[in-house]
Amino acid sequence: MSRASWRERIEAARAERAAAARTRVRRTVSHRDGARCQVDGRSLLNFCGNDYLGLSQHFAVINALQDAAAREGGGGVASHLVCGHHALHDALERELADWLGYPRALLFGSGFLANLAVGQALLDDESLCVQDRLNHASLIDAARLAGCRLRRYPHADPEGALRQLRSLPESVAMLATDGVFSMDGDVAPLRELALVARVQKALLYVDDAHGVGVLGADGRGSVAAARLGVEEVPLQLATLGKALGGYGAAVLGDEALIGHLAETARPYLYTTALPPAQAAATLAAVKLARSEHWRRDKLRELTGRFRERARQAGLKLLDSQTPIQPVLCGDDSRALAMAQSLEQAGYWVAAIRPPTVPEGSARLRVTLSALHGVGDVDGLVAALAKARDRADLGVAVTA
């Protein structure tokens, strides 16, 4: 009997993706200047990044990065529990905890790693993890890798979450949800989920990657916007690479939970710490995010303007009041064609297709930033309407 070929398997999978218009192509950015990117020799206005507050290129953030790198070097050297935990890491953890109203924070290399850490450290094969069906892939993978019993409920349905928790009443349980859903842009019903978790004695974990910095008083995120705190949401995640413009993530919780993660979470124990210079840059970004409220005010204004102009143009949007504004296309090929039309017009908007989103819901994921202006938004909407009309007529886009 001959063994099956890995190469044949890979080629067959790629051919299947190509037939479904689901191949992925990596683009190379050679330079960024505000909201503009140089991509393959062209200047494009970026409407698909997550730099919501426009802090990634702020002079105070860059200065903090450069100054710390000059003093402390460019690397993290070792894991936190060996010799990699620097005073700048400690300062950032304290600042994040103070900002978001939690006793303690723990830094990770990315939000994906942080979610894997939470799952691995708190769940096992006798545990139950109940999750929203549209949760980020890292939450789903965390539960699967932990070996727990994973149950998923219909999107934003607290009663569905309650039914799933009741299905295994004897198990230690976690209820996990995105705070802001990364592909739809809507906000989880956190107050209702907190009540469900309390009644069912489940730990509520909120991945607020796209909420921190954007929502709530002082940008404290979706948990604070729902008037909840550590008592109702014992554990939450904040990423440092979206509204804060840097890299990494932090899990926030009480002393017992964070202490347990610090001593047992393999993605924390067995990986190198973030470079101290990156921690310094993010520390500067947090202070700006806390104090410069105009950035969130501008985001809200741009979001409202985009939605009103898109409604007038007859574009199909989802019910999102956040800077994530999906424009539904339905068909994968249609989404790709519209994205290509936009690029020809000078706008960079990513086409998002299954399996990232459910079948039949391919879309253009428009994201707004404080770096954008009113004219940028108006121009984008006009280009979107033209791209839709071209797709309706089946007009090919020439390079």
Q: Which residues are tagged catalytic?
A: 182, 210, 242
Q: What are phi and psi of 360, to 5 degrees?
A: 80, 10
Determine the Cα–Cα distance for residues 207 and 180; give it in Å rounded to an integer. Answer: 8
Determine the Cα–Cα distance for residues 94 and 88; give it in Å rounded to an integer. Answer: 10
Determine the Cα–Cα distance for residues 219 and 36; give it in Å rounded to an integer. Answer: 25
How many CB atoms neighbour CB 387 within 10 A? 28
Strands 173-178 and 128-132 turn out to be parallel
Kindly state the DSSP code that residue 154 receives in the 8-state scheme: S
Which segments are annotated as binding site?
24, 111-112, 136, 182, 210, 239, 356
Determine the Cα–Cα distance for residues 203 and 111; give it in Å rounded to an integer. Answer: 19
DSSP codes joined into one string, 271-302: SPPPPHHHHHHHHHHHHHHHH-THHHHHHHHH
Which segments are annotated as binding site for substrate?
24, 136, 356
Which segments are annotated as binding site for pyridoxal 5'-phosphate?
111-112, 182, 210, 239
Determine the Cα–Cα distance for residues 142 and 121; give it in Å rounded to an integer. Answer: 10
Structure tokens at 69: 């790198």
Residues 6+ apart with CB under 8 A from 83: 77
